[in-house]
Every structure is written in structure tokens, then in C-alpha cells.
Amino acid sequence: MVFKRRDRRTFYQVVGHFFYPRGGWTRAFHYVRHRLHRLPGSPEFIARGIWCGVFTTFTPYYTMHFVIAAVLARLSSGNILAALLATFFGNPLTYLPIGIISLKTGHFLLGTEFHEREHQSLAAKFANAGADLWHNFWSIFVDQSADWASLKIFYDEVFFPYMIGGIIPGIITATIAYYLSVPVIRAYQKRRSNRVQKKIARARAKAIKQAARVAASDKSKL
């Protein structure tokens, strides 16, 4: 295949690079920033896409962040590619604080509490919900009854509060990202435009000099 990697990575390498990319998170951050700066369109158009991508990271739909960000960017007339790149605001380094803030905000708004020790720990709620999904899937093919108890606990104490609680901090963080991005992108585009204009001016001046030398050479031959 044309795009197949020459050096096949093991499963552990894939997982390791997800949590710590080759070159480090600093290099990954600069790469995403560089790509955002070079996107076509007005600063506001690109920043609207960034808003959508950052906001999406505060939703609990982890496997659908790209889809949600693209849909929001489309609805808000933002840059879709900028929205996809901005979803990298959510990464293994930020998901924990995002999750904690969203959960605490959600339980506060709903007037409930997260019972860390009463039922299960947060990790256990995720694990047991996944186990319920797997068990209920196989129950379709074997003679077993489905069990939704752990999924109900997960929905009531994690998913729904996370979904509700992520709205306000998501809007605040995304709006901050928008207003920080607009002047930065505008300054970058202006600087890049000036560099391009200088290159054009130098090329034009060089062409004029070359034409003058050719004309002088032809005149001397006459």
C-alpha cells in the first residue's frame, strides 16, 4: 500500500505515542498551532472553528469529537479543519481536569453528588459500564438476560452530569480561545502577507534589473 508505514508499530508503541507523541507534547502543540495559523480565511472564520473544537472537548462523546466539532463548525460558519485541529485541546494531559470540572459542575447544577465511595470509584464505573455493554451484546446470541444496573449508575452519576456540566466551562474556555486566537491569527496573516509582498517586490526588482541589463547589452551590440 502507498501510505502504509514501513516501520510497523507494536500495540504498546501506538498506545505510548497516544499518551506521549514522538517529539513530545510541546512539538505536537507547535505543529497544531502552525497548521492553524496557515489555514485560509479570515481570523474570525478560523477562530469560530477553534471555538467549536475546544467546546467539543468538554462533551463526554469521546469517540465522536471530530464529528461533533465538524457539525458545530458547519452550523456556525466556522473553519471545519480548524475545528478538527482544535479538538487536540483535549488530550491525555487535559482530559482529567476537564472531566473533574465538568463532573463537579454538572452535579452542582443538578443538585446531586458524585458518590465516589458509596457505589464504586470513577474508574470502576467506567469499567463496569463497559462490562455491561459487552455482556448485553453477547446476551443477544446466548441464553442470558441483559443487565443494565452498572450502565444506569454510570449514566446517572457520570455521563449525564458530565454532559450537563461541560456546557458552561466549555463555553467559557472556547470563548477565551476564540478571543485569544483572532488577534494572533490576524498578526500572523499580516506578517505572512508582508513577507510575500517583499518577495514579490524583490523578484520584480530583479526582473527589471535583468531586463535593463539585457537591453543595455543589445544596445551596445548595435
Q: What is the pTM (predicted TM-score) of this model? A: 0.71
Query: Among 67-76, 153-162, 211-220, where is mean pLDDT lowest?
Result: 211-220
Choose among 152, 189, 171, 205: nearest CA to 56.
171
Query: Among 47-51, 65-69, 192-196, where is mean pLDDT lowest?
Result: 192-196
Residue 21 vs residue 77, higher pLDDT: 77
How far apart, in whole angstroms, are the C-alpha atoms of residue 204 and residue 194?
Answer: 15
pLDDT of residue 24: 53
Burial state string for 10-32 with b = 16 or more CB within 10 A and e = fewer than 16 = eeeeeeeeeeeeeeeeeeeeeee
Residue 103 vs residue 219, higher pLDDT: 103
User: Does the pLDDT value for residue 11 go beyond 50?
Assistant: no
Mean pLDDT of the chain: 79
pLDDT of residue 127: 72
pLDDT of residue 15: 43
pLDDT of residue 9: 57
pLDDT of residue 183: 92
User: Does the pLDDT value for residue 106 go beyond 80?
Assistant: yes
User: Does the pLDDT value for residue 34 go beyond 90?
Assistant: no
User: Does the pLDDT value for residue 209 go beyond 70?
Assistant: yes
| Residue 107: its H or E element | helix 95-110
pLDDT tens by residue, 55-67: 999 999 988 999 9
User: Does the pLDDT value for residue 174 go beyond 50?
Assistant: yes
**Strand runs labelled E in 53-95:** none
pLDDT of residue 78: 92
Cβ count within 10 A of residue 152: 12
**3-class DSSP state for residue 106?**
helix
Given the C-alpha cell 443538578, which residue does it identify? 110
Residue 201 vs residue 97, higher pLDDT: 97
pLDDT of residue 170: 96
Once rounded to an integer, what is the mean pLDDT over residues 177-202?
Answer: 86
